[in-house]
Amino acid sequence: MAEREARGRGVEIVEVGPRDGLQNEEKTLTVEEKVELIRRLVAAGLRRIEAVSFVNPRRVPQMAGAEEVMAGVERLPGVSYIGLALNRRGLDRALAAGVDEVNVAVPATDGFCVRNQGCTVEEMMDAFDGIAAACLEAGTPVSVTVSTAFGCPFDGETPPERVAEIARRAAAAGAWEVAIADTIGVGVPRQVADLVGRVRAAAPEAVLRCHFHNTRNTGYANALTAVEQGVTVLDSSVGGFGGCPFAPAATGNIGTEDLVYMLERGGSGTGVALAETSAAAEWLGSRLGKTPPAQLSRAGAFPAGG
C-alpha cells in the first residue's frame, strides 16, 4: 500500500523525530511542545509520523505523556500517526490511544535486546507473534523495525542471515512493513545493498523500509544506496536529532531536511516542503537549546530559499 503510493511521488519519508529524535535528549519537551512539533511536521507535508512511544516512562522519561500527545494531535485525512510498542502492555496503551499504526522494534542481537527490552531476540519474536495477532484483530497495521541490523555495540557485527530470518518471521506473523535499522550507524553502502536484497528475498510481500543513523557520516550514502536498490520508504528525523539511550555513542538519525534536499535534487520527489521542514528543525533546536545537527541548518538550501 504505502510502497505503491510512494512510487507515485518518488520516496516516502517516515518522520521519526517526535520519537527517535527526542528519546536521547537531556531536555524533555512538554506535551504541548510535542504536539506543536507534530503540527509543524504535518504542515511541512510529512504524512507518516512516529509520534509517540509506549514504553515505561521511568526508563525513557522523554517519552512520557504518549496518551496526552495522541489526544492532542489533529487528525487529518492522509496523515498516519505511528506508535512504538515493545510489549503487550505497550500495545494495549497504543490501541487505546488510537494510533493509526503500531511499530515494534525487534533487535537482531541478544546483547542489545536484553539491555533495551529485557529479553532475548527469540523471546521478543515470540512476543511479536502475539502483538501482531492482536493488531490484526483490532484492524491496526503493524510493522517491524529490525534494529542493530548492521552492528551492535555489545555483540559486534550482526550476521545478515539473522536479520533476514527476523524479517521472514515478522512478515509471516503479519507485519505489512519491515524496516532494517542501522541503530549505531556502522553500516556502509555495500552492506546496505546486500542486506536489502536478503530481506526482500526473505519477506517478498512486505514493504521494505530503511532507517539510518549518521554516526560515522555514512547515513546519507546508505539512504541513497537503498533508494538505488528500489527502497521507496525511508526514516529520518527533523534536524538530525536522535540516538538511543541504550546504545553507547549512537548519534542522530539522518536529518529530514538534508534527506529531502538530497532526494529532490536527485530527481526523487518526496512531497515534503524543504523550507517548512527546516523551520521546524530550527524551532525544535530552540526548544532543546541545541543547534540542529543536520547540515542544511548551517549551509542553507541551494539555490537560496529552495
Active centre residues (catalytic): 244
Q: How far apart are CA 161 and CA 167, in angstroms?
A: 10
- H/E stretch holding 90 reads helix 88-97
CA 94 to the chain's CA centroid:
17
Question: DSSP class of residue 73?
Answer: S
User: Quick one: residue 235, left, alpha or beta (phi over 0 = left, psi -120 to 50 = alpha)?
Assistant: beta
Asked whether 70 and 83 are in contact (CB, 8 A), the reply is yes
User: Cβ-count burial of 162 within 10 angstroms (0-12 exposed, 13-18 middle, 19+ buried)?
Assistant: middle
Residues near 38 by Cβ (< 8 Å), separated by ≥ 6?
Answer: 18, 49, 51, 69, 73, 81
Asked whether 152 and 246 are in contact (CB, 8 A), the reply is no
Q: Provide the grid cell at 32.
A: 504541548
Q: How far apart are CA 228 and CA 225, in angstroms?
A: 5
